[in-house]
Amino acid sequence: MQLTVPGSLGGERVDKAVALLSGLARSQVNHLVEAGAVRVDGHPVATRSRRLVAGEVLDVDVPAAGDPSLVPDPSVEVPVVFEDDHVVVVDKPAGLVVHPGAGNQTGTMVHGLLARYPELAGVGGDGTRPGVVHRLDAGTSGLLVVARTGEAFHHLVAQLGARTVERRYRTLVHGRVAAPAGVVDGPIGRDPRDPTRHAVVAGGKQARTHYEVVDRGSDTTLLACRLETGRTHQIRVHLAGIGHPVVGDVLYGGHPDLGLTRPYLHAFRLAFHHPATRERVAFESPVPPDLVEADARR
């Protein structure tokens, strides 16, 4: 959005003026100011209380409105373990796609959540994934948090950037991992040989995965992993990169052993600072039945 400040807005605070012009809540405008998305005469606004002068040029990077193709779908069952006016914590089952994308335009978690929480539409500025703060692969089960307000969204995204969100996963890998614990540190990007895969590549985005051994079998190892960053397929790529692909992960060299039809990967713990109360909250998810059965077959 760009306009020359008219006389009627001369002397008005920039946050109030942007809220009036864009229809956004003042809290969302404040986050835009903090992100440098509000500019006057080409210069980012340093404080939301700045007074506008008639004739100045105001530029605002307004978040996209909700995608009109995102029709709420109450038939999509989304297991919710916690909800309040600010956040929703979901225990996603394996097989449920988080948001629309290539080949998955309907029946996603977002469609189901919109039927239950219509106010999600437009939260976060990306019309195809309203409220989605972080994702899980379709084949991964477990916990993720969704923001119900713009303020909660920006606060949670900031926590991810500061690496204060705790995300722990249970996974079973091929082979016996020798060290009791370790860190895989390798940049991740698109696999230059296969665009459907990711890989550790020079020039990729920084990625760090911590792991510790929970139990060793004859030819498999049960691990608990903690994400320091959150790249696409990060745990799967990193563990395959050290020679221990996830059991059931055929994309990265694993085998569909133990009766599994998806990768053995479950997000069992999630902790963060509540965006409204600032208190630390934590949630845990039990291992789903298909992984329990795989454990019994080891």
Q: What is the pLDDT of residues 273-293, one digit of tens each?
A: 999 999 999 999 999 999 999
pLDDT, residue 47, reads: 86
Q: Does residue 25 contact residue 18 with C-beta atoms inside 8 Å?
A: no
Domain end among 42, 60, 78: 60
Tokens 């139990």 belong to residue? 215
Dig out the tokens for 259 from the structure. Answer: 């009766």
Which domain covers residue 197, as residue numbers?
A: 163-298
Query: Are 45 and 85 part of one and the same domain?
Result: no
Q: What is the CATH number of the domain that holds 37?
A: 3.10.290.10
- On whether residue 210 sits in a domain, the answer given is yes
Question: Would you state the pLDDT for residue 126?
Answer: 64
Reported as a pLDDT band with limits 50, 70 and 90, residue 124 is: confident
Q: Do 142 and 210 contact (CB within 8 A), yes or no?
A: no
For tokens 């998305």, what's the residue?
37
Task: Single out the residue of 298, 119, 115 nearest to residue 220, CA to CA.
Answer: 298
Q: Where does the pLDDT of residue 48 fall: very low under 50, low under 70, confident under 90, or very high at 90 and above?
A: confident
Q: Locate 142 and state its tokens.
A: 């477990």
> What was the pLDDT predicted at 43?
87
Question: Which residues are tagged catalytic?
Answer: 137
Total structural domains within the chain: 3
Q: Is residue 154 part of a domain?
A: no
Establish if 196 belongs to a structural domain.
yes
Tell me how many helices (H) and strands (E) the chain has.
Answer: 6, 15
Q: Using the predicted structure, report yes or no on whether residue 241 has a pLDDT greater than 80.
A: yes
Using the 3D structure, point to which of 60, 78, 101 is the last residue of a domain. Answer: 60
Whole-number pLDDT of residue 63: 57
CA distance 10 to 56: 9
Residue 243 predicted with pLDDT over 60? yes
Are residues 203 and 86 part of one domain? no
* pLDDT score at 246: 97
Task: Report the C-alpha gap between 261 and 290 in whole angstroms.
Answer: 9
Together in a domain, 176 and 283: yes
Residues whose CB falls within 8 Å of the CB of residue 112, separated by 6 or more in sequence, listed in order: 72, 73, 74, 75, 76, 77, 78
Query: Sign of the C-alpha dihedral, residues 78, 158, 267, 239?
Result: positive
Residue 23: the pLDDT is 61
Give me the pLDDT at residue 193, please.
87
224 strand-pairing partners? 170, 212
Lowest mean pLDDT among 152-161, 175-184, 233-242, 276-285: 152-161
Pairing of strands 87-92, 208-216: unpaired
Pairing of strands 265-273, 280-284: antiparallel
Q: How many residues does the chain have?
A: 298
For the chain, the average pLDDT equals 90
Assigned domain for 81 exists:
yes
Work out whether strand 57-60 and strand 38-40 pair parallel, antiparallel, or are unpaired. Answer: antiparallel
Contacts of 275 (CB under 8 A, 6+ apart): 86, 87, 147, 151, 152, 155, 156
Q: Within this chain, do residues 15 and 39 fall inside the same structural domain, yes or no? A: yes
Q: How many CB atoms lie within 10 A of CB 276?
A: 14
pLDDT at 125: 64
Backbone CA torsion sign across 66, 68, 69, 72: positive
Whether 295 and 179 share a structural domain: yes
Pairing of strands 80-83, 141-147: unpaired
From 60, 78, 107, the end of a domain falls on 60
pTM: 0.77
Residue 142 has pLDDT above 70, yes or no: yes
Residue 136: CATH number of its domain: 3.30.2350.10
Crossing angle, helix 14-22 and helix 26-34, to 10 degrees? 120
pLDDT tens for residues 61-119?
Answer: 765 555 556 789 999 999 999 999 999 999 999 999 998 876 677 899 999 999 999 99
Same domain, 226 and 101: no
278 plus 257 within the same structural domain: yes
Do residue 48 and residue 74 come from a single domain?
Answer: no
Verify that 53 and 128 share a domain, yes or no. no
Q: Are residues 78 and 111 in the same domain?
A: yes
Residue 248 has pLDDT above 80, yes or no: yes
* 138 & 183 share domain: no
Between the alpha carbon of residue 57 and those of residues 25, 44, 52, 143, the distances in Å are: 21, 12, 9, 44
Answer yes or no: do 118 and 33 share one domain: no
Confidence (pLDDT) at 62: 66
**In a domain? residue 157:** no
